[in-house]
Amino acid sequence: MEFADELLPGARFVRLKRFDDARGSFVKTFSRSLFEAAIAGMPGGEPFELSEEFYSTSARDVIRGMHFQVPPHDHVKLVYCASGAVLDVLVDLRRGPGYGKVASVRLDAAAPSLLVIPKGVAHGFRSLTDDSLMVYKTSTEHSPAHDQGIRWDSLDFAWDCPAPVISARDRAHPPLAEFESPF
């Protein structure tokens, strides 16, 4: 694991090592000791203890997001694309000078990597291929009463997707301008 770019305070892009042989490939997606060493002293970096893991599959041009959980069930997320490719998007919802700042990065199964997403940062993505498989590890379990979102199209971000496929739930989220941050 190579903890590379910091996209937003506490949000890190991590390059993963891929080992290939005649059988296929092998990628380690989490190591507690490497993760703890990488975030030590990092502004916004928080210890991570896995509470839940889940995955989603998406067709090309599906946009999911922008999702997060509010306190006291807010969480740190580790996300990666296990198959296909996505354009992953983050928006900082933490009060302060970085509020509303957007960052994006391509996550591609062919070049294994993951994102560390701190509490107070909303997450979403656009699937760039059919059957993209996204895996999420979170530090708290899903709490429907604390699960929220902001509209994907209310950000200062060009999704470059003329005909996105979006759930009714994601279309109903409030725009960023109307969101009152608890972070």
**Residues with catalytic annotation?**
67, 136
Count the alpha carbons within 13 Å of 1 in the hemisphere toward its beta carbon.
19
**Whole-number Å distance between alpha carbons of 45 and 63:** 27
Which residue is associated with the tokens 């507690």?
Answer: 32
Query: What one-letter code names the amino acid at 171?
Result: R
Q: Are strands 102-108 and 63-69 parallel, antiparallel or unpaired?
A: unpaired
**Whole-number Å distance between alpha carbons of 127 and 153:** 15
